[in-house]
Amino acid sequence: MKNKTIFNLFTIEWYSVLKDIVLNFWLLILAVIIGFSSIFVMEQALYKPVYTSSATLIVQVKTGTYQAYTNLSASTEMAVIFSEVFVQPSMKEKAAEYLQIDEFNGNLSATPLSNTNVINLSVTADDPETAYKEIQAVLKVYPQISDTIFSNAVIDVVRAPEIPKGPSNSASVPHKKLIVLGVVGATLAGIVLISFLRDTIKSESAFNEKVGENLLGTILKERDYPSLNALIKGEKRKKLVTDAFASFSFVENYQKIATKLEYLNQKNGDKVFLITSVAAHEGKTTVSINIALTLARKGHRVALLDMDLMKPSIAKTLNINGEYVDLAHVLSSDMTVSQYKLLPYKDGSLSLGLNKRRHSSFTSWINRPSVKNVIDQIAENYDYVIIDSMPLSATAEVSSIANLADKTIMIIKADYVKTGDVNDAVLTLNKKNCLAGCILNDAHKEITFFGQTGDYEGDYKGRYGRYSHSRN
């Protein structure tokens, strides 16, 4: 029985979000590029260069009557006063008159150095010539004003101004980091939002809410590579229950699915199960093989038939080589079952009906009564027959060949096919009254704001290492 909490409304389908972030990581990189590009464009659009011409002045006291002002302290005080005098409007007016212009265009500043009698005088303007001419004018006219205040003061120019060779400011946009982080954050928020809004079956609780069909089992995602060395070599493992690297929960969940099929057999006599999916790459072939292997490991005689005639792959998955007659040849000809022997797999509890190649002409014979007769004859010699069929989206014939089996099982890969397409497929199969239920494949644990939901029965909150197999 499913073990749910009252907090399912707060479930975070974290893996779906993480997957989308990883798959769309290039968008985050693009966002960084856009952020910095935007800053560059803004800087170029808003940048207005200015030029500063500067001079260094030193204030001293005339010798004579006011001997008290010959000390450094007095000169320092006078430097502060003269710094204020330099920036008076009257100083700019005198300089403008000297230059014979209507208005002093630059920004005049005078800054005394702390605890010294030194003044830094500067003019900042829109072009270097203006800055230089105007500071020169100030240096020419300042005595007209300063002598009226302190006639005993002497101001010497220790560093003369020069024509600026370049701008004194740089192109800069404030809060650059915040701008870039804002663009990246907005992009990340968009990816997360799309992930939440994408209408797929991402979890078991989503299946129960959106589909509401009988769920035969949930297969949690397994590692694609058993080790780092395998990852480096690109040796992707085949996720079979007989694999030494299969997790306990993986094997256990297939055992529970097999138990449910045993129940259907005891209750209704169902023994022929057709496995399909909405689209390709949902893992129906791997699921078909694992169901057949699990039933065989429980002591049943099982026939596994590859009837994905557009893309047969059971032989490749199980590393079956050698010569054998294609199952499609038997189904499409007058060959009898007695003349056709299924290939025994390992200890013989499992037998295989395989195809080496595609059979694109199957639409001309797949619905013949003889095909159903062959399947029925095979079923007479086995406890269970598992048929790996084509996806429903591959051809319109798939829903028709569901009649070959007692019941159909639909594989749904988590976060892969749109919910609407899943429900359309379920409706189609239910119209034929042949759907035994669905299996959610490649799913991940759900997490809530309040802790793990525990939706997946038999997971036991972790993996217990390699599963010890008593049978191959």
Does any domain span residue 469?
Answer: no
**Domain identity same for 286 and 145:** no
pLDDT at 195: 74
pLDDT at 10: 44
Model confidence, pTM: 0.65
**Domain identity same for 107 and 245:** no
Does any domain span residue 406?
Answer: yes
% of the chain beyond a pLDDT of 70: 84
**Domain identity same for 138 and 233:** no
Q: Are 439 and 217 in contact (CB under 8 A)?
A: yes
Print the domain residue range for 179.
8-47+172-192
Does any domain span residue 215?
Answer: yes
DSSP at 236: P
pLDDT at 107: 93
- Residue 351, sorted as left (phi over 0), alpha (psi -120 to 50) or beta, turns out to be beta
Residue 437 — φ and ψ, nearest 5°?
Answer: 155, -170
Q: What is the residue type of 108? A: L
Nearest alpha carbon to residue 53 among 115, 123, 110, 139? 123
Residue corresponding to tokens 């939002």 = 193
**Domain identity same for 70 and 108:** yes
pLDDT digits (tens, 9 = 90+) for 270-320: 999 999 999 999 999 999 999 999 999 999 999 999 999 889 999 999 999
CA within 13 Å, CB half, 443: 28
Does any domain span residue 1?
Answer: no
pLDDT at 471: 38
**Domain identity same for 43 and 77:** no
pLDDT at 8: 43
Q: Count of domains in the chain? A: 3
pLDDT at 229: 73
pLDDT at 470: 37
pLDDT at 173: 67
Q: Which two tokens stand for residue 152?
A: 């005993």
CA 348 to chain centre: 45
Does any domain span residue 464?
Answer: no
pLDDT at 452: 45
Q: Which residues, in sequence order, are CB contacts of 96 under 8 Å at separation 6+?
A: 102, 103, 104, 137
The CATH code of the domain that includes 145 is 3.30.70.1130
Q: Are 122 and 128 in contact (CB under 8 A)?
A: no
Does any domain span residue 113?
Answer: yes
Residue 227 — φ and ψ, nearest 5°?
Answer: -155, 170
Does any domain span residue 109?
Answer: yes
Q: Mean pLDDT for each consecutive 10-residue tract of the chain (472 residues)?
A: 40 68 80 82 80 91 53 79 87 91 92 90 93 92 72 82 89 73 82 78 87 91 76 77 90 96 94 94 95 95 94 92 87 78 88 89 82 90 95 74 90 92 90 90 69 40 34 38
**Domain identity same for 19 and 96:** no
pLDDT at 13: 65
DSSP 3-state helix, strand, coil percentages of the chain (rounded to 5)? 45, 20, 40
